[in-house]
A and B are shown apart, each in its own frame.
Chain A
Amino acid sequence: MEVDAFSFDKLPIHDTCWSATVAADGAFYAAACCEHTGGVAAYMVRFDPETDELEYLFDVGEVVGEPSDNGRATQCKIHYSLLPTDDGLLYGTTHLSGPPLGHVLYPHWGGKGDRRHGFIGAMFFVYDVNSRQILDHGMMVPEEGSRCQALDEKRGRVYVAGYPLDHFMVYDLNTRELRDCGRMGSVNPQVIWVDPEGNGYTADDFGRILKFDVEADRLVELNQRMPCPLFQDGWHTVPYDVVAGPDPWVVYGAPWHVFPHVFKYDMSDGPEGRMTDLGPAHPDYTGHELTGTGSDHVGGFVFDDDGMLYYCVNRRTNSAEESLHGAGSTNLVRMDVTTGQVEDFGPMQCGDHQVHYISRGMRCGNGDLMFAGVGHVPIHIYRHRPNCTSPGTAALRKWG
């Protein structure tokens, strides 16, 4: 499948892109992350789908007041924590893993609490896409990274999965108070999502759905579980990516796991919702393959204007070793969620440039599907233009 590729050439050592979203102006915003070089903060980039122009907006470390050369672990990433609002704001919150300037690695666990070298905490900024100004910034989660977030816009709340402690937290944007609901497990969920009422959802280590119930005002465990192959016990079935369907009460997604199954979760079906297994993302895999979470990765869930679900599936090469190091392909897959029919368009590529990994997919204001890539330096983002019969509209996704 031939896609358009756009390279962040002005950021020559930024190495991953985990967070991307479409804001109220219909443009695609991506956080260029720098995990593997000390002393470099994330950088926000805007892509205009009408002009194909890349605009390098700001150094995240500078705008949150934590410059990347201050000797502490850097504000190197925004990890599934870009949240657009209907009125044109864009919230971003940082994540850890980049070492201090001059260091090669950052110890995620060993660095916690180290005031000199450690990550000071997940810091947020508020960017106005209309005025193009930073309106605010501050500390959201001290000493922890923000793995993923979702926005309850009505209440002005952000749901946060912290890292490495893996706590579920609720941040009140009005009072700036952080409420810690406690630990979820050991494997960080990669997405928290919200229903139209503002309830927050994610899953624990065994795929059991956790809901922050806004009426009960607490985190509860639901009697619903994300699907997994019969040969697995459900461990590590934490959600990786989730997108709302044409009915915003129904979401689709996949876990962060080997041999992942695509699922549909109808949050309005009964008090606990209803989970449906839509089958394995790799129907030909037997379960005996030696794989890893990267080689079996599924992400970039996005709906086009005609209601077709797209997602990106990593495929192994014949060499397991190569696959573990990202040498496989990433195929673009389309599912008709009304029939369950799946169409595999094959490896995503742009000429000789092979896509390795897609973290997130978004629909822009003109209907283009944009995908955030990982695995190339400089970072690349990708575009697919579906042949839709419906007019192009932006889909504001209120979670990272």
Chain B
Amino acid sequence: MMTDLDNRQWPQRYKRDPERERKSITSRRAPARQTSFVSRGFMLCKELGFHGVRRPIPADESRITALAVASRDRVFGTTSGERPHVFLYCSDPSEGIVLDLGVVDGAAYLGRSIVAWDRHTVFVGTSPAPGRVVKCSALRSRNDCVQEWGHRPGVFEDVAVPLPDEGIACLAGDPGFGRLYGLSDRTGTFFHVDVESGEVSLSETVDELQHFSRTLLVTRTGDVYGAGAHGRLFSYSPHYVTGPEEIDAILPSVPGRSMYARVDSWAEHPATGIIYGGTEADGMLFAFDPTTREMHPLGKPTSASRIPAITVGKDGIVYGFSGEDSSIGQMFAYDPQGGTLENLGIPLATAEIRRYGYEFAAAAAGADGEIYLGENDRGGCLFVYFPPTPPTATGDTG
């Protein structure tokens, strides 16, 4: 078993990386070695609790699966795991804490079923059957979070049970229209709920094969988008009484793999109305124009097969996360103006908690340009990314 060590030829041992030590020919030479982590902007990591004061949401119940910005100072989120929670990040500078609003009783999974209705109210959809639409109200807190405070749990109230035999796969909402939209988790039945009355309207399944995407998007015009089998998009307009209709647009995929294509995440650009999204089968980034109904593949940010989180920042940049389960994903940025796609690296936070971010399942954009990333991991945390300030004409960064 022992090898002949006396005559073994060993590889050369470098004391230092010669590439790193090499002098550049010009000062513009790019560094040969890159950090693996996001190295531009700044990132902080918020424990799902009042850090250092209160126990956070238990580690096995803290996988963040959805985020929704309700106002400049309020971000709601849901977790999954052994028990699903609804939480509220109070992002006002005087607070900066996460409140666990409570466990949604009777639910095992909340998925991508969160709709921020106003500053104090959020709706979530539960699974498994019977899937309920639940309203959670966050009561006002008092004072700042430095010297005196008083926090109260959320108030949960059942609003509707769209299909008693099914759970809710996803939920989207339009406060202007007073409606919530959803898909059931088994048959993909499209439904909407009148928030005021709790009345439920059911449509047909969006996909007889039940390969539908587990997410819906409501645009600023009030139209609802989703995707059925083979990545074919459908839309629903509340201005018509008919149900969702297929449209002539298909998610991008590697040839021969369209049967696996699903929308993993998507977000509407607030300025242009373009929908940017990522697919689940092949991790492709795409842009869909609802006006022309044209679909444009934009490439793959990483080699991963998923883009589980995407949002559009106040700076007009599309931020997202590309990665797979139990692996290490990376954050990316797509600039629609320049058409550039950049891999920003692995999220790494050094404020509040020092933590690597490996898996994420939700993203949302804040009013001040910050990007929220919901960590889908045991002991999951809320990451907040502050992109770098664009350089000014004088070269200053402001």
Cβ of A171 within 8 Å of any chain B Cβ, yes or no, is: no
Cβ of B370 within 8 Å of any chain A Cβ, yes or no, is: no
Q: Do A185 and B379 touch across chains, with their CB atoms under 8 A apart?
A: yes
Stretch among B1-9, B140-148, B230-238, B310-318 lining the A interface: B1-9
The residue that B13 contacts in the complex, of A36, A165, A233, with Cβ under 8 A, is A36
Taking the closest CB of chain B, its distance from the CB of A297, in whole angstroms, is: 20
* A164-B2 CB under 8 A given contacts A36-B13, A37-B10, A102-B11: no
> What interface size band does chain A fall in?
35 or more
Cβ of B119 within 8 Å of any chain A Cβ, yes or no, is: no
Which residues of chain A from 62 to 82 have any CB-CB distance to chain B below 8 Å in the complex? Answer: 62-63
Q: Do A37 and B13 touch across chains, with their CB atoms under 8 A apart?
A: yes
Taking the closest CB of chain A, its distance from the CB of B176, in whole angstroms, is: 40
List the B side residues contacting A101 at CB < 8 Å.
11
Q: Do B1 and A134 touch across chains, with their CB atoms under 8 A apart?
A: yes
Cβ of B272 within 8 Å of any chain A Cβ, yes or no, is: no
Q: How far is the CA of A107 from the CA of B353 in the complex (A)?
A: 23
Q: Do B10 and A13 touch across chains, with their CB atoms under 8 A apart?
A: yes
Q: Do B379 and A184 touch across chains, with their CB atoms under 8 A apart?
A: yes
Cβ of B151 within 8 Å of any chain A Cβ, yes or no, is: no
Cβ of A26 within 8 Å of any chain B Cβ, yes or no, is: no
The residue that A109 contacts in the complex, of B10, B19, B328, with Cβ under 8 A, is B328
List the A side residues contacting B60 at CB < 8 Å.
182
List the A side residues contacting B33 at CB < 8 Å.
105
List the B side residues contacting A11 at CB < 8 Å.
5
Q: Do B354 and A186 touch across chains, with their CB atoms under 8 A apart?
A: yes
> What interface size band does chain B fall in?
20 to 34
Q: Do A57 and B59 touch across chains, with their CB atoms under 8 A apart?
A: no
Q: How far is the CA of A62 from the CA of B353 in the complex (A)?
A: 41
Q: Do B327 and A112 touch across chains, with their CB atoms under 8 A apart?
A: yes
Cβ of A12 within 8 Å of any chain B Cβ, yes or no, is: yes
Cβ of A277 within 8 Å of any chain B Cβ, yes or no, is: no
With CB as the reference atom, state the residue of chain B lying closest to A68.
Answer: B11
Taking the closest CB of chain A, its distance from the CB of B230, in whole angstroms, is: 28
Q: Do B10 and A40 touch across chains, with their CB atoms under 8 A apart?
A: yes
Can you give 25 contacting A-B residue pairs, CB < 8 Å?
A10-B5, A10-B6, A11-B5, A13-B11, A13-B13, A37-B12, A38-B11, A58-B1, A59-B3, A62-B3, A101-B11, A104-B14, A105-B17, A105-B33, A109-B356, A113-B327, A165-B358, A182-B59, A182-B60, A183-B59, A183-B378, A184-B378, A184-B379, A233-B52, A235-B354
Question: Which residues does A use to contact B, with CB under 8 Å?
Answer: 10-13, 36-40, 56-59, 62-63, 101-102, 104-105, 107-110, 112-113, 132-134, 143, 164-165, 167, 180-186, 204-205, 221, 233, 235-236
For the complex of A and B, list the 10 residue pairs with the smallest distance between their C-beta atoms, beginning with the closest: A182-B378, A109-B36, A183-B378, A10-B5, A37-B13, A13-B13, A39-B11, A104-B17, A186-B355, A186-B356
